[in-house]
């Protein structure tokens, strides 16, 4: 049951916060609903989820439209883009997403600014940082993050709210800690008021212990549970 999974995830977030004396209210749970049906999303809404993450613009547009057409408090739901964003999808993305987590170049920031300006929106974004050497992961190199964020300040329709990272898949979640810690240290250097989006089904408790403000959980909510 999605409802039980959500409750269990919240319980574990709370427990992780207590271990390190952080405020559970500072941690947002985003249910990553990619490849999940509208019915499953509605079930999650009934379980109290307000934030949904998607990784493909096309799929998100369809879900956004279908949910807006029904009466499931569409205005209270927030959409998060967590997957790699291509420049030619930015126009659609700024129309529906409240927060774009996966911004990994200044060129993309420029395009987001341009498209957001057209609809008079200030688009909230996170800058994705590549904290692990794994070649397949996208993201800006840690050493370049500060420069990109500084350069982003001149784009009036883009608001950088923080940093995001994806830890590599590891056997023991404890091994992911160093990547989360690196992102947290980077935040300390760039802007201590930034939020951190880090932690997925297998490693979110470690991410929370390292100061995550947004965790992105897919399988543990929609599939097997924890
Ligand atoms: C799919 C995805 C998630 C959720 O992953 P799970 O392991 O299913 O919890 C989180 N973040 C990103 C960027 C994803 O693509």
What pLDDT shows up at residue 35?
96
Least confident range from 20-24, 25-29, 132-136, 212-216: namely 132-136
Overall average pLDDT of the 153-163 stretch: 98
Residue identifier of the C-alpha nearest atom 4 of ligand 1: 218
Centre of ligand 1 from the C-alpha of residue 154, in Å: 31
Residue 134: pLDDT band (50, 70, 90) is confident
Q: What is the mean pLDDT of residues 190-216?
A: 98
Q: Is the CB of 221 under 6 A from ligand 1?
A: no
Which pTM value belongs to this model? 0.96
pLDDT at residue 195 is higher than 90 = yes
Q: Whose CA is nearest to atom 13 of ligand 1?
A: 82
Q: Is the CB of 55 under 6 A from ligand 1?
A: yes
Phi, psi of 103 (to 5 degrees): -85, 120
Rounded distance from Cα 83 to ligand 1 centre (Å): 9
Over residues 124-145, mean pLDDT: 90
Q: Measured from the CA of 201, which atom of ligand 1 is nearest?
A: 9
Output the pLDDT for position 28: 98
32 lines ligand 1 (CB under 6 A): yes
Between the alpha carbon of residue 146 and those of residues 60, 141, 181, the distances in Å are 30, 10, 17
Q: What percent of the chain has pLDDT over 90?
A: 91
Distance 114 CA to ligand 1 centre (A): 28
Please state the rounded mean pLDDT for residues 23-32: 97
């Amino acid at each position: 049951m999605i409802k039980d999974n959500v409750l269990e995830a919240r319980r574990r977030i709370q427990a992780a916060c207590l271990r390190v004396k952080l405020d559970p209210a500072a941690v947002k749970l985003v249910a990553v609903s990619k490849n999940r049906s509208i019915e499953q999303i509605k079930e999650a809404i009934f379980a109290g989820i307000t934030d949904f993450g998607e990784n493909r613009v096309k799929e998100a547009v369809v879900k956004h439209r279908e949910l807006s057409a029904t009466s499931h408090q569409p205005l209270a739901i927030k959409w998060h883009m967590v997957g790699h964003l291509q420049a030619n999808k930015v126009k659609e993305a700024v129309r529906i997403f409240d927060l774009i987590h996966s911004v990994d170049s200044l060129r993309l920031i420029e395009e987001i600014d341009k498209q957001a300006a057209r609809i008079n929106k200030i688009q909230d974004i996170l800058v994705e940082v590549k904290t692990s050497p794994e070649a397949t992961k996208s993201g800006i190199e840690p050493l370049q993050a500060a420069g990109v964020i500084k350069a982003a300040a001149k784009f009036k329709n883009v608001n950088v709210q923080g940093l995001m990272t994806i830890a590599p898949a590891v056997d023991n979640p404890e091994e992911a800690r160093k990547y989360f810690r690196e992102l947290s240290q980077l935040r300390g250097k760039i802007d201590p008021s930034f939020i951190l989006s880090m932690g997925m089904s297998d490693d979110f408790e470690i991410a929370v212990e390292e100061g995550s403000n947004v965790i992105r959980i897919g399988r543990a909510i929609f599939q097997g549970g924890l």
